[in-house]
Amino acid sequence: MRTTRAAPRTPRPGATLLAAGRAGRRGRRGPTVAAVVLGTLLAPATLRAQDSFHWRGELGPGQVLEVKGVNGAIRAEPAEGREVEVTATKRAGRSDPDEVRVEVVRHAEGITICALYATGGRGSVCAPGGGGRTNVRNNDVQVDFTVKAPTGVRFIGRTVNGSLSALRLEGDVELYTVNGGIELRRTL
C-alpha cells in the first residue's frame, strides 16, 4: 500500500486548484480533483465584514476634507452640524483586514484620510493631493468610506477600484476613480 502526503496549497486569487496533492505514479486524481473543483465552485464568494474606523473633527468653510482609498467605495453626504464625520468599514475575502490601516493626516489646508495597505516592499504613506503611496499587491481588502461633510468644506474623494458619490454637498467637490462610477448630485 502506497501513501502520499501533500502540502497544503493556496491558489492565487481567481485560480482554481486542480489537484490537492500527488496522485502517485499513475496520475490518478479522480475523486480528489472532483472534490476540490466542486468545493471551489460551490464556495461562497462573499466578503466578511470586519472592524470599522470612525473619526470626528471640525473643519471650517474652505478647508479640505480629502479621502483616499484604493479598493472600495467612497460616499459623501452633508453633515447636520459643523462636525466632519468619517466612517470606514473593512471587508475581505482571503486577506487579513488588519493589514490595512486608516490614517488621518492634518495639514495647512485641512485633513487627508487614507486607507494604507501593509503589503509591498516600500512603506505606505498618507499625504494630501497627489502625494503618498500604498501597495495592494495580492490583498483583497476593501475599505468603504462614508463621509459627512459640513457646509462650505471642500470635499475630495479618490479611489482606484470603487465608486464615488457626493450627494447634496454644499461646497466644492472633486471626485477621482479609475475603475468605478461617479455620482454627483447637488439637490434631491
Burial class of residue 166 in the structure, from the number of CB atoms within 10 Å of its CB (0-12 exposed, 13-18 middle, 19+ buried): buried
35, 118: one domain: no
61, 18: one domain: no
Looking at the chain, list the stretches that DSSP marks H as alpha helix, in order from N- to C-terminal side: 30-42
The C-alpha cell of 48 is what?
Answer: 466578511
Q: Can you tell me the distance from the alpha carbon of 165 to that of 30, in angstroms, rounded to the nearest whole number? A: 50
The closest of 88, 91, 99, 87 to 49, measured between CA atoms, is 91
30, 67: one domain: no
Instruction: Give the per-residue pLDDT at 50.
Output: 55
17, 95: one domain: no
Q: Which domain holds residue 158?
A: 48-185
8, 34: one domain: yes
- Confirm if 44 and 134 have CB atoms less than 8 A apart: no
68, 33: one domain: no
80, 140: one domain: yes
Stretch (H or E) spanning 173: strand 173-176
Number of domains in the chain: 2
10-residue stretch averages of pLDDT, the chain, 188 residues long = 42 33 41 38 46 91 95 96 95 90 95 86 81 80 96 95 95 95 84
139, 177: one domain: yes
96, 9: one domain: no
- Confirm if 166 and 148 have CB atoms less than 8 A apart: no
112, 163: one domain: yes
Does this model's pTM top 0.85? My answer is no
89, 173: one domain: yes
114, 168: one domain: yes
